[in-house]
Every structure is written in C-alpha cells, then in structure tokens.
Amino acid sequence: MKHYDIASIGGDGIGPEVTAEAFKVLDAAADVFGFRYKRSDYDLGTERWLATSEIFPDAVFEEVKQHHAIFLGAIGDPRAPVGLIEFGIIAKLRFELDLYINLRPVRLYDERLCPLKGKSEKDVDMIFVRENTEGAYSGMFGFAHKNQALEVATQVMAYTRAGVERAIRYAFELARTRPRRQVTLVDKANAIRAQEIWTRVFAIVAAEYPDVRTDHAYVDAACMWMIKNPEWFDVVVAPNLFGDIITDIGAILQGGMGIAASGNLHPGRVSLFEPIHGSAPKYKGKNVASPVAAILAGSMLLDYVGEREAGRAIEETIVDLVRSQTIRGVSTGDHGTREIGDMVAKHLKSRVKGA
Ligand code: IPM
Ligand code: MG
C-alpha cells in the first residue's frame, strides 16, 4: 500500500478549521482508494509568534521539508505587523524550497457560481502558472532616511533567465495536456521594461512548441478580458505579482475565495498546497467558512503525489455536489464548515464505492 507523509500547518484564523475538513476528505479518499498517509501537525502562525516570538524555527523547517507534501490552511492576523508572519511562513516555504510554480486552476463548476452575465462552465476553464520565487517578491527592498521628509523606499523586481524560463516552459508543457493547447503571457513589458525578458524568453520557448498556440496580454488589459471574454484563456503564465493579482480575479470567476485552490510546486520535490483565501480572523471558530477551497487544495496535493484518481474523484465529487445544489454556495455562511466536509467525505465514498 502506498504511504505518504504530509505536513499540516493549519495557521491562523479559519486556517485550522478548513484544514480539518480537507483532511477529513483525505481520510475518506485514503479509505476508498487504498493508500495511507501520516499527517504531522505543525503549530505555526501568529498565536505561536505571540506566545514565543518564534515564527518558523530552523529545526521545525528542517522537519517540515522531509515530507512528501505540505498542506497549509491560512496565515495572517491583525495582531502581527503586516506581512511578518506571511513572509516568515508562506514566503519562506516558497523561497527556501524553491517552489517556483504557483499553479492556480480556475474552473467554473456551475454557472450559478459565476458573477458574470451569460457565461457558463465552458467559458471559464483556465489555469494560471504564476512564477513564484522572484519578481516583486525578490525580497530585495529597503528604506533610506526612514521617517524623514525625503524618505526613499525601494523594492527590486528581479527576474532571472532561469526563473523566467522554467515558469514559461512549465506553462507550455501544461498546455500540451489540455485540449485547447494555448498559453497566454501576461506582463507589463511596455512600462516595466525589465519584463522584456519575459517577452523574449516566451518567444524562444514557444518555438519549441509549435503545436501550442500563443497569445499575449498586458496585465491591465488581461484584467478586462478575463471578465469580458474569459473563454479566451486556457493556460496563463505571469510574473509573480501579476499572477497574484489576476488569480484573485480568476477566483471570483469560479465562485470566489471559498473555492479557489493552489499548489506551490517544484516538480519532483516536496511541494505546498493551500487554499488561495486568507485567514478571515473574524470568522474564526464560527463554523461558517467554506472549506471547499481547502478540500480542493487537498485534491491537488493527491494529484501531485501520484494519487491522480483520488485527486480527480474529490474534484468531481465537489462538481456533483455543486451542480445538484447539495452545496448551494461556496461563500462564508452558506453552510457549516464541518457540514461541507462531512458531505464531501460521504459523497466521495458513495461515488467511488457505491457505499
Ligand atoms: C497569495 C497571497 C500571498 C501572496 C500573501 C499572503 C503573501 O496573496 O498566496 O496569493 O502575495 O503571494
Ligand atoms: Mg494573493
């Protein structure tokens, strides 16, 4: 029987609650698909920082990276300085494990979830390849003359040839696995001149994939086209910051933050899976947050470690439940957090086993 070691970081706010439901569904999947996994919980996040001033001790980090995959609920709490815990945990994992792809599928499961008029399931089916280790997130920033009238603040957007190329290549390989075989590059090379490296490398890599169609949109136009003509997009590749921004638009096209999941990947190595949503501290402990995004992150995790059938079955279970209106909505308060987890676990089992 296959066995996987999974590290789990529930994190802040609603993170631990949605994580519990994702694992409830992984348990059901392990049961019906016949694999085993061991979950190790890591108590990281703002509570730990407040109590001990530790964010992510090196010894803990060394342990976390010894797993097949890492699951993360959510990080962020107004009691900590902006970005401190997010960068200490999420960004540390992304950078130090070199998780260079942030993969964000945007698939509309039911047209009732889409805020756009006249768009249906066939119009919203795209997947974002967000470069995940450099660009505006390079970590190179600084302040001079702090708190003085002539203060200067800088942040370097840095792109390496290798970093740009591996993200673009991943997007082209991914396009080959999808029926439409199209990659759209989103950038702002007309204003951020250094992004010309994206234009150039995209053309070079594209030449190796004559079977894949290419397209390009500046990020401002992409924001408009994603809403006006989402059916134009299949695989989208983008630098880190733009990928962050446009995937929030993507999330709303598929039904909102309650449903959008992501994988931070270094193909072949330990990778990190998380819902795109934040920690929503005001909903903490109320059993109102949608765990669907977290459950779908669990489905991506299974797919990544090699349990493709199980990953797919979890996604299709959610499609069934949404289309049959058993899950009426995926926003906060539409259902209880635990109730959705129970529903998905139960339907997954009966779908697979007829149980
Ligand atoms: C995301 C988030 C993070 C990011 C934050 C929490 C640092 O918005 O994963 O999309 O900007 O990457
Ligand atoms: Mg974001």
- Catalytic residue list contains 146: no
Q: Which of 38, 43, 98, 220 is catalytic?
A: 220
**Quick one: pLDDT at residue 330?**
86
pLDDT for residue 143? 97
Whether residues 140 and 242 fall in one domain: yes
pLDDT at 341: 98
Answer whether 323's CB lies under 8 Å from 109's CB. yes
Measured between alpha carbons, how far is residue 48 from residues 45, 55, 87 in Å?
6, 7, 15
Handedness of CA 75, 80, 84, 89 (dihedral sign): negative
Range of the domain at 230: 129-254
Annotated active-site residue 220? The verdict is: yes
Per the document, the length of the chain is 355
Atom 8 of ligand 1 has which residue's CA nearest to it?
244
185: Cα separation from own chain's centroid: 19
- Give the per-residue pLDDT at 310: 98
Q: In a structure prediction context, what are the per-residue pLDDT tens digits for the chain, which is 355 residues long?
A: 899 999 999 999 999 999 999 999 999 999 999 999 999 999 999 999 999 999 999 999 999 999 999 999 999 999 999 999 999 999 999 999 999 999 999 999 999 999 999 999 999 999 999 999 999 999 999 999 999 999 999 999 999 999 999 999 999 999 999 999 999 999 999 999 999 999 999 999 999 999 999 999 999 999 999 999 999 999 999 999 999 999 999 999 999 999 999 999 999 999 999 999 999 999 999 999 999 999 999 999 999 999 999 999 999 999 999 999 999 888 888 899 999 999 999 999 999 887 5
Which of 218, 227, 266 shows the shortest CA–CA distance to 95? 266
Looking at the CA of residue 94, tell me the nearest atom of ligand 1. 12
Is residue 122, in this structure, part of any structural domain at all? no
Q: Is 188 a catalytic residue?
A: yes
pTM of the model: 0.96
| pLDDT reported for residue 355 | 56
Dihedrals phi, psi of 53, to nearest 5 degrees? 55, 20
Residue where a domain terminates, one of 254, 279, 309: 254
Look at residue 332 in the predicted model and tell me its pLDDT.
86
Residue whose CA is at the smallest distance from ligand 1 atom 5: 86
Where residue 215 sits, what CATH number does that domain have? 3.40.718.10
Task: Give the active site residue among 27, 31, 215, 248.
Answer: 248
Residue 121 in any domain: the answer is: no
Q: Classify burial at 307, counting beta carbons within 10 Å of its beta carbon; exposed 0-12, middle 13-18, buried 19 or more.
A: buried
Half-sphere exposure of 78 (CA within 13 A, CB side): 4
- Asked if 294 contacts 22 with a C-beta cutoff of 8 angstroms, the reply is yes
Kindly give the distance from the C-alpha atom of residue 100 to the centroid of ligand 1, in angstroms, as a whole number. 14
Write down which residue in 254, 271, 296 finishes a domain: 254
Pocket of ligand 1 (CB under 6 A): 86, 90, 244, 276
134 and 209 part of one domain: yes
What spacing in Å lies between the alpha carbon of 244 and ligand 1's midpoint? 6
Report the nearest atom of ligand 1 relative to the CA of 90: 7
Residues 217 and 201 in one domain: yes
Residues with CB under 5 A from ligand 2 (ion): 244
Q: Which of 109, 244, 303, 304 is catalytic?
A: 244
Which residues have CB under 8 Å from 282's CB, separation 6+? Answer: none
Is 123 annotated in the active site?
no
**What confidence score (pLDDT) does residue 63 get?**
98
Return the closest-CA partner of residue 22 out of 66, 64, 72, 88: 72
Query: How far, in Å, from the CA of 281 to the mean position of ligand 2?
Result: 16
Q: What angle do CA 308, 313, 316 make, to 5 degrees?
A: 125
**Residue 14: exposure state from Cβ atoms within 10 A (0-12, 13-18, ≥19):** buried
Domain boundary (225, 254, 283) is at 254
List the catalytic residue out of 24, 109, 110, 188: 188
Residues 143 and 244 in one domain: yes
* Beta strand extents in 145-284 (DSSP E only): 152-155, 182-187, 213-218, 235-238, 261-265, 271-275
Residue pointed to by tokens 């993170």: 15
Number of domains in the chain: 2
| pLDDT tens by residue, 136-158 | 999 999 999 999 999 999 999 99
What number of helices (H) and strands (E) belong to the chain?
Answer: 12, 12
